[in-house]
Amino acid sequence: MDFEKLQEIKQKYLAEINFRKNADGSQVDYKYDIMVCGGTGCRSCKSKSIEEKLIEVIKSKNLERDIKVHGVGCFGLCVNGPVILIYPQDAMYIKVSIDDVEEIIDKLIGGELVERLLPEENGKKITKKNELQFCKKQKYIARNNAEFMSLDNMLGDYIALEGYSALYKVITTMKPEEVIKIIKDSGLRGRGGAGFSTGQKWEYTKVVDAPQKYVICNADEGDPGAFMDRSIIEGNPHAIVEAMAIAGYAIGASKGFVYLRAEYPLAGERLQKAIDEANEKGLLGDNIFETSFSFKLEIKYGAGAFVCGEETALMRSIEGNRGEPTLKPPYPAEKGLFGCPTVINNVETLANVAQIINNGASWFNSIGTQDSKGTKVFALTGKIKNSGLIELPMGTTIREIIYDIGGGIPNGKKFKAVQMGGPSGGCIPAEYLDTPIDYKSLSELGSMMGSGGMIVVDEDSCMVDLARFFLQFTVDESCGKCTPCRIGNKRILEILTNITEGRATLEDLDKLEDLCHYVKEDSLCGLGQTSPNPVLSTLKYFRDEYIEHIVNHKCRAGVCKALTSYVIMDKCIGCSACSRVCPVGAISGELKKKFRIDKEKCVGCGRCYNTCRFGAIAKE
């Protein structure tokens, strides 16, 4: 495809993506766009059925020329799905059902909104999406334009929004060294873990002389609660395709692989469609834009092993071997996939590349902090009102994320900590709420940026149990190749389990810390080297809870069943709801009189506590 053809496609589709004007500036011939979230979260809540029902109702009312319906990428406010956007009103509807469709269309005909479907903040309905606290402080780069691109017309809409113009610019007007310099000058760092300079990684690979080189996109997103990469691919797969081709040109590679989790069928389907479209239009393959540059791309599916997110284990998996890490050096830049120089970047890192090429290094460099440039995408989950996908300039504080964007903690509970970086990260307590989100600040607190998982916990969470949960995950996911990780993490988990079950001593805390440091220092790969972080950070900031578990045999949050008992207080009205849900018959009494719990029979399941509507059951 030549550049003129690219521009032709851009002009053709410009009117199709709800900017409401044709290429010549004239108004489009329809009045409204309805954008239906097609992300995995909303799809699981029947958003596809809502999209089909909207089309059906519009057709039955002969409104096809007035209203267009598009399935698009994730809007981010996942907790309120299914979500749809109405343009040009720029209104967001939340928790939409099929039963709402007729009313939505009828109101739209008259230029009105369905008020009950609008989100509410501080008792007020918000009529404009960008007026939501959830949206105000966000800045989209990696997730740019996901809400504008129709899933049925991904290539056309992507091109209309400057897609593939960066690739054209790079391979027709720039030398590989110039491309690498822009990426280096931008300050873009890897968004998948340690935050290594993307430009330097490309440069190290380029200077190695070899007949074959590779580009790999690491889409093996495995952290609990993380869905950033999945959403980016689902909403804008062409951004990854274009970025990988640019990286290929920069380092001298002619072949690329996307290593994608098999648990992401929707992302895989859309990414394969994007690759097929790019091949068909000559944007991948041989002699791209009629130049001598050729680049081919394919998907390799991973079976869900967390350790395969580590780059050497990932490459072994692509090669058809067991996914185990190898010693470094040599690094992938020297000897990577099939023994050839290889660049590996994660999805979010690549999603920034084309925009840096189009807008310049100084544009990207102006966003964020001195140490951390650009934006970062987070999956905000846990005990938070507005759980979902967010993208923020680096330097945004944790407080802004939790209370402005996240809407605070539900049910009037107190914020306790945020776990960042998944199993490799650490817990940051309330005293550091004003910490800016950047690589350096998080590292100083014993945490890390990681891929962007952000799990919020409140006062009802036990920090010892949280550490145990992440260690259990690491033990289950360890490849078992090196002794420190295979055996050391197992011993750490045993000590944590003893603490949560009341069998530990204070001496065990010293053993726990010693083991954590040993595993960090001696494990073969990043999985083992970072796995003790959740334990070390909770020991540092919540040591009193560990001591309380050991000395007092008490779990203040009432999470550790072996250390928690329940008592029925005098306010009990004798409704018998608690006794009816008790699985072991430990609760007895007479109707309209105070019930009692037999502590010998009680297994500490907490079903009575969760069932009582009168607050008459307390944890001890």
Q: Is residue 240 part of a domain?
A: yes
Residue 378 token pair: 């987070």
Q: What is the CATH number of the domain that holds 533?
A: 1.20.1440.230
At 240-253, the pLDDT tens digits run: 999 999 999 999 99
397: exposed, middle or buried (Cβ count in 10 Å: 0-12, 13-18, 19+): middle
Q: 113 lies in a domain?
A: yes
Alpha-carbon distance of 296 to 509, in angstroms, equals 53
Q: Please check whether residues 265 and 388 belong to one and the same domain.
A: no
> Considering 302, 334, 363, which residue would you say is the last residue of a domain?
363
427 and 482 both lie in a single domain: no
The verdict on 167 and 257 lying in the same domain is yes
Residues 6+ apart with CB under 8 A from 183: 198, 199, 202, 250, 353, 356, 361
The answer to whether position 147 is within a domain reads no
Listed residues 404, 425, 458: the one ending a domain: 458
CB 16 within 8 A of CB 8: no
Q: How many residues does the chain have?
A: 620
Give which of 241, 213, 57, 233 is closest to 146, Cα–Cα.
Answer: 233
Tell me: do 63 and 129 sit in the same domain.
Answer: yes
**Could you tell me if residue 369 is inside a domain?**
no
State how far the Cα of 139 lies from the Cα of 353, in Å rounded to an integer: 16
Structural domain includes residue 603: yes
pLDDT band at 612 (very low <50, low <70, confident <90, very high): very high
Q: How far apart are CA 245 and CA 223, in angstroms?
A: 27
| Same domain? 228 vs 334 | yes
Q: In which band, very low, low, confident or very high, does the pLDDT at 193 lie, cut at 50, 70 and 90?
A: confident
Helices (H), 37-120: 40-44, 47-60, 101-109
Domain co-membership, 191 together with 324: yes
Q: Tokens representing 16?
A: 């199709």
299 pLDDT band (50/70/90 cuts)?
Answer: very high
User: Residue 225's pLDDT band (boundaries 50, 70, 90)?
Assistant: confident
Q: What is the mean predicted confidence (pLDDT) over 476-505?
A: 95
Domain assignment present for residue 14? The answer is no
Same domain, 382 and 524: no
Task: Give the model confidence (pLDDT) of 341-389 as tens digits.
Answer: 999 999 999 999 999 999 999 999 999 999 999 999 999 999 999 999 9
Q: Which domain holds residue 76?
A: 31-133
What percentage of the chain reaches a pLDDT higher than 90?
83
The predicted pLDDT at position 18 comes to 45
CB 541 within 8 A of CB 583: no
pLDDT band at 617; cut points 50, 70, 90: very high
Beta-bridged to residue 84, according to DSSP, are 36, 93
- The per-residue pLDDT for 82 is 97
**CA 341/CA 443 separation, integer angstroms:** 30
What CATH code is carried by the domain that includes residue 601? 3.30.70.20
What the block records as the tokens of 503 is 């069998």
Q: Does the pLDDT at position 209 exceed 90?
A: yes
Mean predicted confidence (pLDDT) in 429-455:
91
Tokens 């009045």 identify what position?
31
> Both 515 and 608 in a single domain?
no
434, 458, 482: which is the final residue of a domain? 458
CA 154 from chain centre, in angstroms, equals 22
CB-based contacts of 30: which residues, under 8 Å, 6+ apart?
Answer: 65, 66, 67, 68
Cβ neighbors of 408 (< 8 A, separation 6 or more) are 384, 385, 402, 415
Q: Six-digit token pair at 245?
A: 């081709």
279, part of any domain: yes
Q: Identify whether 519 is part of a domain.
A: yes
Would you give the distance in Å from CA 466 to the centre of its chain? 20
Domain with residue 452: its CATH number is 3.10.20.600
Same domain, 488 and 448: no
491 and 444, same structural domain? no
Q: Does residue 178 share a domain with residue 249? A: yes
**What residues pair up with 429 in beta bridges, in sequence order?**
417
Provide CB contacts within 8 A for 292, sequence distance 6+.
Answer: none
Please check whether residues 393 and 447 belong to one and the same domain.
Answer: yes
Predicted confidence at residue 238, as pLDDT, reads 97
The arithmetic mean of pLDDT across residues 10-24, rounded, is 52
Domain total for the chain? 5
The answer to whether 445 touches 426, Cβ cutoff 8 Å, is yes
- pLDDT tens digits, 401-430: 999 999 999 999 999 999 998 888 899 999
